[in-house]
Amino acid sequence: MFRQSIFKIIYIVFFLGVLGITSYYLYNNVAKADPITGTNGDTKLLDFGDDIGIKQIFVRINDKEGEIIIKRSFVSYCSQELSGFENSVKIDSLVNFGGNEKLIEISGPVGVHAENRQYFFLDSNHCPKPLSFAKNNRKVYNIYSDQPSFKLIDYDSDHYLDIGAEYRNYDKNPLVDGIRDIYLFKVDKGGFVYSRSESFTWEDECRDCSGTIE
C-alpha cells in the first residue's frame, strides 16, 4: 500500500509537471504571440508559393517597441523586432522584387508627414529576417520618406526592383522640389545599397511609375 501511494504521488507530480511545461510553452508560443490588432497592429495571410505556402503574419507595436511574428504551425511562432516605427504599423503586401524574391512590406506613419518601411524575407526556418539599407558605410533596417513617396523601379536593369525614397527639398521649394535617394537591390548583399541621389520636381513626376521590372 505504501509503495503504491508513493507511485501515485510520483505519477501525479510528473503529470502536473508535464501539464505545467506544456501550458507555459503554449502561452509563450501561442497566446502570448497573438497580438490584439487595431490601430497599432495588423495581421494578414500571405501566400509565398512554392514550398513555403500560405503563412499568417502579425505585426504589433507598443511604445515604439514593435515586432513581426510569423505563424509557422499551430503551436510554432517566430518573431523579429521592427525598426523605426512609432505608434502604428501595418502589413502592406508581398512584393516580388524579381526572381523568387518575395518580400513582406511593412509600413507605418512617423512624424507629421513621413512614412517608415521595412522589408522582410523568410529564411530556411520560415522566420522573418529584415533586409538592410546600406549608405556611406552605415547599415540600417528601415527606410523612410517625408513626402511620403516610394518608387519601386528597376533602376539598373538587372531584373530586380530597386527603391527610390523621395523627400522634400527644403533648400528650394519643398512643395515643388524633391530629392530621390536610390537604393539598388543586391541579393548577395542581403539588402539594398545606396546608389545615388537625384533632384526632381513633383509636378513632372509619373505617379504610376512604380512596381515594374523591365
pLDDT tens, residue order, the chain (214 aa): 555 566 566 666 666 666 666 555 545 544 444 544 445 789 999 999 878 899 999 999 988 899 999 998 888 899 999 999 999 999 999 999 998 878 999 999 998 889 999 999 999 999 999 999 999 999 999 999 998 999 999 999 999 999 999 999 989 988 889 999 999 999 888 899 999 999 999 777 665 566 554 4
Residue at 96 is within a domain: yes
What is the C-alpha separation between 114 and 7, in angstroms, rounded? 66
- Here the cell at position 144 is 523612410
Residue numbers of the domain that contains 105:
87-204
Residue 13 falls inside a structural domain = no
Q: What angle do CA 153, 146, 214 make, to 5 degrees?
A: 5
Residue 95 resides in a domain? yes
Asked whether residue 152 is assigned to any structural domain, the reply reads yes
The strand pair at 102-109 and 115-122 is best described as antiparallel
Closest CA to 191 of 214, 162, 151, 159: 162
Instruction: Please check whether residue 56 lies inside any domain of the structure.
Output: no
Query: Using the 8-state DSSP alphabet, how is residue 117 labeled?
Result: E
Let me know if residue 16 belongs to a domain.
Answer: no
Beta bridge partners of 46: 55
The DSSP annotation for 191-208 comes to EEEEEEEEEEEGGG--TT
Predicted TM-score (pTM) of the model is 0.79
Q: Does any domain span residue 165? A: yes
Q: What is the CATH number of the domain that holds 160?
A: 2.40.128
- Let me know if residue 194 belongs to a domain: yes
Number of domains in the chain: 1
Query: The C-alpha cell of 114 is what?
Result: 513621413
Query: Maximum distance among all alpha carbons in the chain?
Result: 93
Burial of 192 (0-12, 13-18, 19+ CB in 10 A): buried
Q: What is the DSSP letter of 141?
A: S
